Structure 1
Amino acid sequence: MSRVSIFFYAAAFFAATALADVSYIHAGRVLADPANGRVLTNQTIVVRDGRVAELREGFVDGPGRVIDLRKKFVLPGLIDSHVHLCHENGPHDRMNRVTLTAADWAIQGARFAATTLRAGFTTVANLGDENDAIFALRDGIERGDVPGPRIIAAGHVLSPHGGDGDVHDYRPDVEVTIRRENLCSGADDCRRLVRNQIQRGADIIKIVATGSVLADVAQGVGLQFTDAELQAIVETAHGMGRRVTAHAHSTEGVNAALRAGVDSIEHGTFLDAESIELFKANGAYLVPTLLAGATVTEWANDPNGFLSAPARAKALDVGPKMLDAGRRAHAAGLKIAFGTDASVARHGTNAREFSLLVQAGLTPLQSIRAATVGAADHLGVSQRVGSLAPGKAADIVAVDGDPLTAIGELERIRFVMKGGVVYVDPRN
């Protein structure tokens, strides 16, 4: 299906659903609440005004639309806790930074948002894109202007001057032109930046506590913020009702961010025994992004790949270790939320993360929990999404087979409903 037809297909269903605000979904098998793991059979999910009204035993109908999923396995809409919808990494990254506008990024984001929704992900946390682009996309989706997942948006990532979120390896006059308002130095300056970002519309605060793999600079993946800066960021964000998540690879970066009180760690590649104790003491989540690790490893091993020399060296060091970090975290009983870092891996391939989580030791059910009830708790949206319970958003997906025995089924989504609106229908 072409990109244009995807949009009009979703728009047509939006219009049709608006006329019929009650739907009766006949579900052959349904995992309504992944927390308890019970698979119900022969159920009717009654959807009214975009929300789950009730689950009834047997196949019943009434005044409204009947959706036949009697031969499908039904579960709540999936949640990806780490995406970047406005771009995909590739060989043109450096040029794109100096040629594309916020409007260009938003248009790209609309395309990737539709792709992500059709893959079954009805809620995402977008952890780093240009402010105007991602906030406009978030709000446009919420209004129903364009199809896409529900977005919890960070906007700009917060970085120290010269850190991972700064601009590197351009002429100084070009760097000044494209540098974002996302940099701080010193505790007071970091407090100011958090306040400014929330004022601009951030739902969550994302910081780069350490260097990253794909930055075109040979500064490694070590700690970048001071303890005082980290503490100021977390205190300010929490005081204004926002969670804080930290990109962190190195042991010292992971542990410093956890000691400062961040709510979650993205990646966590070199976590150690102290990290595990800090995670547990804080009740923090790990978002292991195993798909990103697998992807950068593939890129680094491609002799014709596009990575710069510094990025390739870091990818070869970090990428292969991420699966083992996920394995150690799970074995230690840490809370894990599903997240892919999509934009590294292609948008729409998010569900590949499930198989990697299973390789890291999670059962298929545990991996589904990470992408439903776990991710909803991690992002503070459990009252709205994560399970099919009365009053929650009618975010519903379905597959042909049983993902509890074959987790790869989630890579082949056959039905997608978000907020009572159907975007993928097996009858078409």
Structure 2
Amino acid sequence: MARAVGSERFAMLRAVASTFDSDGYLRRRARAADPFTVPIPRLGDVLFTGSADGVRDILTAPATELSAPTPNPIEPLVGSGSLILLSGDRHRRERQLLMPSFHGERMRNYAGVMAKAARDEMNGWKPGDRISMREAAQEITLQIIIRTVFGVDDADRRAEYTRVITGMMSAYIAPLMFMPELRRSVGGLGPWARFVRLRTEFDDLLTEQIAQRRATGVDGYDDVLSLLLSATYEDGTSLSDDDLRQELRTLLVAGHETTATSLAWALYHIHREPQVRERLLVELGEVTELEQLSKLPYLSAVLQETLRMHPTVSVVLRRLNAPLTIRGVERKPGDVVGIAVPALHFNEDRWPDPDRFDPERFLERKATPFDYTPFGGGHRRCVGASFANYELAIVVATIMGGADLVMPDDERRKRTPRSVPRGIAALPDREIVLQVR
């Protein structure tokens, strides 16, 4: 069996050190040799690639030959029956059931809710205020999920969801994610006990919402919960309450912090680059309907470039069910392989001057599924990718049209933040702050 060119004697130490700058680490390793191996606890020596050819080798493999790698650190959050963790025929069936909720007319129905969530957040902004854009974005994206996914409109009820979800997500700290031996409580105390209590509270809220919607029927509702309640598998069966809770938790985890981080990064670059901001405002000034926003070429290019430079997930992993060769390196069944997304998105052969924020590159040439993977790819591409892109377009446009924001001089003098792993997503290593003018 061929040896990965990029393997190295002290890879484990380097891998641990990389948690402080995982994107930079993956880029450096790919530049030195591609593919390369990184030892990951409980997964073994993972073979990574940051080249389009290598990504093609992975993503074009038959669905039956790839599965979700286990163990997965987010399982306590989403549940073992989550789409993210399923493989094979069950994954295919679940994916087919979920996909219609995030496409076409159903998705466009959410535009008004998305814009209102942004306006509600901006209502508290006053001239001179310095706004943490990631905190603001987290509030906006959470309210969008509570309304469009869970179908909760009552203000008091939304406040209860906000309290429980915020607490649950903050309680699931990195040590609990990556060190299962810490997932225990002592006399009902400790981080794990707090997380389990809040997760139970969240499940209770979801159980009540599911029961209420089953009792009243789904007619007249277009939230994702109602769509899932009315959906059936090919054999006519439907999701159980437990299945519903797990998929609703999955949609929260996949669409909250990730989208909020992308939103904060987009606003950072828009306000750091005056020419980008001015061109975007001109394009937005020609829009009369919310539904038009997702089709604007320059806004789309700005968002694509944001996701290129700041993918919220740094690695895409697959466990092999059959032998696979990646750029001449053979791997056997049971091995885990991965896409090093930052290395792929900063590959100079495809992206000239990759450290420069340049939306024009997406106007000049369309990205391929093998050189641009902000939502993964292949048979396991994120089912909510279209929803996330639509949400980003609506919210960015609403903020640009409703608030006059500037980047303060002291913020402009600081270095560009780095993406670092923080729990579920890769986050900026410092606050992104804009000021209301």
The TM-score with structure 1 as length reference comes to 0.25
Could you say which structure has the higher strand fraction?
1
Could you say which structure has the higher helix fraction?
2
The TM-score with structure 2 as length reference comes to 0.25
Tell me which of the two structures has the higher relative contact order, counting C-alpha pairs closer than 8 angstroms and 6 or more residues apart.
Answer: 2
